[in-house]
Amino acid sequence: MPVRPSQVMRLVHENQPAHGVAVRLMDTIVPEFVSMIGFDAIWLDLEHHHLSVEKAAEMIRAARAGGPADVVARPGKGEFTRMARLLEAGTKGIMYPRCESAAEAAEVVRWAKFPPLGERGLDGAAADNPYRLTPVADYLRQANQETFLIAQIESPGALDQAAAIAAVPGIDFLMLGPGDFSASIGAPGQMNHPGVVAAHERVRAAAHGAGKHWAVTCFDMAHAGECLSKGARLLFHGSDWRLVNNGLQQLVQQARGLGAGG
């Protein structure tokens, strides 16, 4: 049985965009439903929130049951062992935060890829194999092929190293972390700040200059369209929590408005 193919990499190899959403609600119904309705990628964030590897594995399994969507897991900075366990649980993409240099990007590759591309430890009895149903040599080759790595640029120093990071063999995508970057330049949360806009452009240019792909967090559909026109190939459209939050706030305002002036 072959290793499960990556939906994201299939699309980008066809020069098509992949669309994703972050899942914050920790119920396995959510990633199953998100995969079922047609998203290509589900972002699970273990850098923030209180999501364990065990719970993440359950959510990855639910996403696989729902459809072809890839899970893109973000561990904390330097959490290479945790990253390897997320790969074994079946995540197809690793979003590595706060990458500051080409040397750090190379370390990510070393832990995420099997020989000859890296030095990832071999178990082979987990979901990504799947469960020893793939011959070992095929498993290593297919896992290397179907696993993709996103290096996040989140500080001015990292931005200066973006071209060098993008050039590291095994890094597939470059992506600005706009929240942390905006805070680092003294404009927290100002996603349209000129410094943030310029940083997006520098990350895009660094990725394309190295022949790599550009991933982006989109603020709205207008921003998504702009990024798509500039060559973005993996676009994340907010989170389930933002949609629930906005919807419930609108609903309570509408409900309280029913009796206004009555």
Tens digit of pLDDT for each residue in 92-134? 999 999 999 999 999 999 999 999 999 999 998 999 999 999 9
Residue 261, φ and ψ in degrees, nearest 5: 75, 5
Q: How many CA atoms lie within 13 A of 103 on its CB side?
A: 0
Q: pLDDT tens digits for 10-23?
A: 999 999 999 999 99
Q: Find, among 54, 49, 53, the residue nearest to 22 by Cα.
A: 49
Residue 115: which residues within 8 A CB-CB, separation 6 or more? 140
Query: What pTM, to 2 d.p., does this model score?
Result: 0.95
Say which amino acid occupies 70.
D
Q: Which residue carries 């680092």 as its tokens? A: 184
Q: Is the peptide bond before 130 cis (omega within 30 degrees of 0)?
A: yes
Determine the Cα–Cα distance for residues 9 and 217; give it in Å rounded to an integer. 18
Based on its alpha-carbon atoms, the radius of gyration of the chain, rounded to whole angstroms, reads 19
For CA atoms 76, 177, 57, 141, the dihedral sign is: negative
| Domain residue ranges of the chain, discontinuous segments joined by + | 7-257
CB 76 within 8 A of CB 56: no
CATH number for the domain formed by residue range(s) 7-257: 3.20.20.60
Distance of CA 176 to the CA centre of its chain: 11
Number of C-beta neighbours around residue 10 at 10 A: 15
Determine the Cα–Cα distance for residues 89 and 62; give it in Å rounded to an integer. 11
Determine the Cα–Cα distance for residues 83 and 251; give it in Å rounded to an integer. 39
CB 178 within 8 A of CB 200: yes
Q: Where does the pLDDT of residue 261 fall: very low under 50, low under 70, confident under 90, or very high at 90 and above?
A: low
Q: What is the mean pLDDT of residues 202-206?
A: 98
Q: What is the mean pLDDT of residues 219-242?
A: 95
Q: What is the mean pLDDT of residues 6-11?
A: 98
Determine the Cα–Cα distance for residues 126 and 116; give it in Å rounded to an integer. 21
Question: Which tokens hold the place of 39?
Answer: 């998203």
Q: Where does the pLDDT of residue 49 fall: very low under 50, low under 70, confident under 90, or very high at 90 and above?
A: confident
Determine the Cα–Cα distance for residues 67 and 57; give it in Å rounded to an integer. 16
Q: Find, among 81, 84, 85, 61, the residue nearest to 71 by Cα.
A: 61
Q: pLDDT tens digits for 32-44?
A: 999 999 999 999 9
The whole-number pLDDT of residue 259 equals 74
DSSP code at position 48: S
